[in-house]
Structure 1
Amino acid sequence: MVQRATRLSGPSPSSETGRLLDRAFALVRQEEKVRTEFPPEVLAEVERSMAAPDLPERDETTVPFVTIDPPGSMDLDQAVHIERDGDGYRVRYAIADVPSFLVEGGALDAEVRLRGMTVYCPDTRVPLHPSALSEDAASLLPAVVRPAYVWDLRLTAEGERGTADLYRAMVRSERRYTYAEVQELVDGGQGEGTLMLLQEVGEQRIARESARGGASLPMPEQEVHVDDEGHYHLRLRPLLPAEDWNAQISLLTGMAAAALMLEGGVGILRTMPEATPQSVARFRREVRALGSDWPQDMRYGDFLRGLDRNDPAHLAIVNAATALFRGAGYTTFDGELPPEDQRVQAAIAAPYAHVTAPLRRLVDRFGLAVCEALAAGRDVPAWAREALPALPDLMAEADRRTKSVDRQCISAVEAAVLVDRVGEHFEAVVVDGFDKGVVVQLLDPPVSERARGTAGLGSTVQVEVESADILRRVVELRVVPGGNSPAAVGG
């Protein structure tokens, strides 16, 4: 599950703090060399390709697909339809067909390889593809016919994956939903067939995830509210169950894609190593420090699934759990399969591939082309096969850049939240130490930062905000002496 940058809400930030924050976000993009404009030759090529796309012959416009996305989204990668299939389920998952509009080896292809991913910032997003493509011609918008890759997945009554097929077809989404709308309709028993079955299938897949030892990170969205006086307030918004159900359809599809690639002997997997004992031990300390009990014999995936997403302390635990989900990368193969331990995405506890977000992530376009050819019994297109060896490095750089932008924007927002509160004291818990101090977690506002001073791991302390610099994206905290555990850490 991808963590997106902080979202701003409330009045337009026209205060001095708001202007500094806008400058900070722009500075982050400049420092990370985010490509904010598309060259003229790219835009011209897109116009030509949209005028004469390579459309599939198969027609599935009678299937009542729907999309489920955050409010205001226009780059709609996925549309879903679910129906009963005997005692089980049939899931059809339509994915935007980017190759229909893209000249392989052309100007846009070269540009998106430099970008790698859509970059999300609190004030804007920088798309992987020009908006004419990603928000219009290739987007699965409602009530218009679009080309798509259609995954046709059969599940048992218990949600186990059965057969999987993939083909290109013309589709039409009947309606666009937000997660909140889906949740309200399902909770009220008023959702259409696909929505009610989404809950069934989603919960079945969550149970299968637990059974195989997998874990999803229910990452809360960090929201910054600007009040009428221009002050900034930071909150963590828990994910809705509907977001989990929808994510399970994407995970199901990614696992089906990985199985197809491994059977066909060619492809690119999204892999991640097991969490290290050190990171698990640190997470246990953080859980204890935040006042929760994690039974020693419970797997961390089951522990995360059992958290109360409306409890601020539990949301802080979810935020801390990101340390268990590190080291992800991509493994390519063509002919000889990778070793068993290099095939698995450890958090998912199964082989997995990225194939559901081609408008926003470069690698998915190639994974879809590989899988569609394998499913049809054809040779994998040369353009896709030849690109595989370069994709891990391209995606690693895109990952690094987007995570750095996200991290620095969050730091700027945290500074904006605390800039008017320099000199104030906040209650915090100590979750780790380093050579010059400790790492503390504030619950209100939900800020995690380093602080000068010493304190015991897991202890509750008072910290003082010594300074907050929005442009430098730096917050300086100090542990207020007195009342700390004698088992102190830090400098």
Structure 2
Amino acid sequence: MRTIVDRDCLLGHGLALIRQQFQLPGDFPADVLTEAKAVARRPIGEHADATQVDFVTLDPAQSRDLDQAFAIEPAGSDLLLHYAIADVGWFVAPGSALDREAWVRGTSYYLPDGKVPLYPPILCEGAVSLLPDGERAAVVFTVRVDPAGEAKLDGVKRARIRSRAKLAYETVREDELPAGFAELTDRVEAAELARGAARVEPPEQEVVQDNGHFQLQLRPQSWAERKNAALSLATNLAVADALLQAKTGLFRTMGKPQDWAVKRLRHTARALGLDWPKPESLEQLERRLDPERPADAAIMLAIRRASPAAGYEPYREGAKPWHAAVAATYAHATAPLRRLADRYVVEAALAVANGQPVADPGVFERLPDVMQKADALSGQIAHAVIDLAEAVVLTGREGSTFDAVVTDVDERGARIQSCSPAIVARIKTDGLKPGDALRVRLDSADAERRTVQFSIAS
């Protein structure tokens, strides 16, 4: 969810309760704010001069916590991606008040009415962010992308950069992007297809109000968002390979949906009127989904919910960490303003690329628990927000009937998915089995408790 029109304050009140329920932190402690103010003035030193490189950023228009800037240049048949990452490690010292608070938070938490940042805004939206208002400290990854789309880390260095433009997903034109952008992203996407990757990027759910009624809508990613993600993917893959070869690091892992989850998805597809032949695998289905089509968008959201939670694993001798969605060994390095672990992965990659020892390799043993707890909390918040949105959307429609299908049955009853709007709920079993189509009546919608209740319509 990104935008909300909430004239009756149902969502606003519900979001305040979510913040209270999950005990999300408010303001930063005084010592953290004092330290942030001091380090925000730290001069950029020990950084090479890369201000002559034409870096740009590409993010949502309203974003100010800009982790990444990029430039592209040809190198024979290869393309060089210069990917500048905000140098959080230059400002946040291990053991400092900022560092201790970041270990408590783990990540930034995003709600429709605002975020709970990992670092104080004076840093994440100011001195450390790669805004186009002056020189900024960055760690620049040079990633070589060959004609087949394979990415390799050519070098990493600390550098002073100056972004030339803050481009926005919503308004960017192709002619504003660096030469080679389209070719590079096409190569990365072709390599994904060749690996058998099946990254699902479902549309975001948005709640809007029209003539006093709330509507739950799906907003697909723009072409600029999809293409921009390829740059981060190529960099993270190259970093993961370099760290794996150096026998150190922290890796992002994820398994495939289990067989029972795929069966549930087939029932969901049926409810949405999608043609999914039995011989076709889930990966094959994913590749032909179009987020611009409402039914496709709904099944993409269902696939995301059905996929196992991603995790973090430190390097282990003889093990090859794997991320099923990207079909490769993968790491997170490109969002240190928003994720604690990325700062340490960036520092490790910098050391490895320059033949230096990793300062604290033991940190990768401690990070998984912190990051997985933060991820779990993010997931709980996201589910609570969606539950709230669904309840608000259905408020006032009690007694209405909807077409639905049973997606699975367990000891808690039957899980159903209504076809329009695309809402998931539970209902008493009453002999139902997966795949059953039925007509359900909305008995109640409680935005305060974030619950909806359906029964079988007579």
Q: Contact between 2:442 and 2:454, CA under 8 Å: does it hold in 1?
A: yes
C-alpha change, 1:329 and 1:424, in structure 2 (3 Å) is: same
Q: 2:135 aligns with which of 141, 145, 152?
A: 145
User: Structure 2: which 5+ residue stretches go unaligned?
Assistant: none
Q: 1:337 aligns with which of 276, 299, 317?
A: 317
Matched, 1:204 2:187: yes
Matched, 1:350 2:328: yes
Matched, 1:424 2:406: no
Hey, what does 2:11 align to over in structure 1?
A: 21
Find the aligned partners of 2:266 and 2:46 in 1 and give their Cα distance: 51
Structure 2 matches for 1:48-67, cutoff 5 A?
48-53=38-43, 55-67=45-57
Pairwise CA distance, 1:324:
4.4
Q: Contact between 1:53 and 1:100, CA under 8 Å: does it hold in 2?
A: no
Find the aligned partners of 1:462 and 1:66 in 2 and give their Cα distance: 52
SS at structure 1 position matched to 2:162: strand
**Number of aligned residue pairs:** 457
Pairwise CA distance, 1:230:
3.4
Find the aligned partners of 1:219 and 1:113 in 2 and give their Cα distance: 30
For 1:14, give the aligned amino acid.
R
Q: 1:222 aligns with which of 197, 205, 210?
A: 205
Pairwise CA distance, 1:56:
3.4
Find the aligned partners of 1:297 and 1:166 in 2 and give their Cα distance: 45
Hey, what does 1:461 align to over in structure 2?
A: 438
Q: Contact between 1:55 and 1:100, CA under 8 Å: does it hold in 2?
A: no
User: Structure 1: which 5+ residue stretches go unaligned?
Assistant: 1-5, 482-491
Pairwise CA distance, 1:295:
4.1
For 2:7, give the aligned amino acid.
S
Matched, 1:371 2:321: no
Hey, what does 1:120 align to over in structure 2?
A: 110
Find the aligned partners of 1:64 and 1:301 in 2 and give their Cα distance: 38
Q: 2:359 aligns with which of 340, 356, 381?
A: 381
Find the aligned partners of 2:278 and 2:223 in 1 and give their Cα distance: 27
Matched, 1:73 2:40: no
TM-score (norm 1): 0.89
For 1:413, give the aligned amino acid.
A
Hey, what does 2:2 align to over in structure 1?
A: 7
Pairwise CA distance, 1:371:
0.5
Give the root-mean-square deviation of aligned CA atoms: 1.8
Q: 1:254 aligns with which of 229, 236, 244?
A: 236
SS at structure 2 position matched to 1:177: strand
Q: Contact between 2:151 and 2:237, CA under 8 Å: does it hold in 1?
A: no
Q: Which moved more, 1:394-403 or 1:205-214?
A: 205-214
Find the aligned partners of 1:471 and 1:322 in 2 and give their Cα distance: 26
The percentage of aligned residue pairs carrying the same residue is: 38
Q: Contact between 2:149 and 2:189, CA under 8 Å: does it hold in 1?
A: no
Find the aligned partners of 2:258 and 2:43 in 1 and give their Cα distance: 47
1:179-233: CA deviation from partner (whole Å, max 9, x where unpaired): 2323xx23xxxx1352x63222222212211111111111211011123x43211
C-alpha change, 1:197 and 1:299, in structure 2 (3 Å) is: farther
Q: Contact between 2:271 and 2:417, CA under 8 Å: does it hold in 1?
A: no
Pairwise CA distance, 1:457:
3.0
Hey, what does 2:369 align to over in structure 1?
A: 393
Find the aligned partners of 1:288 and 1:84 in 2 and give their Cα distance: 47
For 1:198, give the aligned amino acid.
F
Find the aligned partners of 2:451 and 2:38 in 1 and give their Cα distance: 46
1:249-280: CA deviation from partner (whole Å, max 9, x where unpaired): 11111111111111111111111123322222
Find the aligned partners of 1:111 and 1:423 in 2 and give their Cα distance: 48
Q: 2:196 aligns with which of 201, 213, 223?
A: 213
1:28-87: CA deviation from partner (whole Å, max 9, x where unpaired): 112212112100000001111112256332011111111111120010111111232222
